[in-house]
Amino acid sequence: MSELRELYQEIILEHNKTPRNFGKIETANRTQEGYNPLCGDHLHVHLHVNGDQIEDISFEGSGCAISKASASLMTAAIKGVPVAEALELFEHFHQMVTAEIDEPVDDERLGKMAIFAGVREFPMRVKCATLAWHTMKAAVQDGQDPVSTE
């Protein structure tokens, strides 16, 4: 188990150091701000939504390693997928990070994002892991107010 944990740790640190889809896309037609006051994570998610399809997505901002790695993996996972599928994936992700510690993880569905199951042990960190997702959801639903996890 500790070896697996180390691998998870490595993926998080790697995505924190070299986040995917980081910056602002020129074609963005939705932008949403998200803030997690508990930890100080603060980011913007930019999307190019075309019909019911997420054509492109990026994020920028600053925060802890978990929030950045989660945003990085989230953008990689939902780029090019239908909005409904992205929201469904968020439901799975949210269920996973808030489940009981010993509940099995559906890593077939969640892929690399299954590494965030580790935050179950640290309730404070759940908000770090879900911030980018909540922000994305508000963006595709055209929310105006910044998202706060509080």
Question: Which residues contact Zn ion (rule: CB under 5 A)?
Answer: 39, 41, 64, 67, 128
Q: Does residue 41 sit in helix, strand or coil? A: strand
Nearer to Zn ion, 128 or 136 (CB): 128
- Closest approach of Zn ion to the CB of residue 125, in Å: 7
- Cβ of residue 131: shortest distance to Zn ion, in angstroms? 7
Nearest CB to Zn ion, comparing residues 30 and 127: 127
Cβ at position 17, least distance to Zn ion in Å: 16
Amino acid letter for position 79 = K
Question: Mind giving me the DSSP string for 94-138?
Answer: HHHHHS-TTSPP-HHHHGGGGGGGGGGG-HHHHHHHHHHHHHHHH
Name which of 78 and 132 has its Cβ closer to Zn ion: 132
Helix (H, G, I), strand (E, B) or coil at 82: strand
Residues 6+ apart with CB under 8 A from 112: 11, 73
Q: Are strands 30-36 and 147-148 parallel, antiparallel or unpaired?
A: parallel
28 or 136, CB closer to Zn ion?
136
Rank residues 37 and 82 by Cβ distance to Zn ion and give the closer one: 37
Nearest residue to 49 via CA among 65, 62, 32: 32
Instruction: State the minimum distance, in angstroms, from the CB of residue 148 to Zn ion.
Output: 13
DSSP bridge pairs for 22: 59
Least Cβ distance, residue 93 to Zn ion (angstroms) = 16
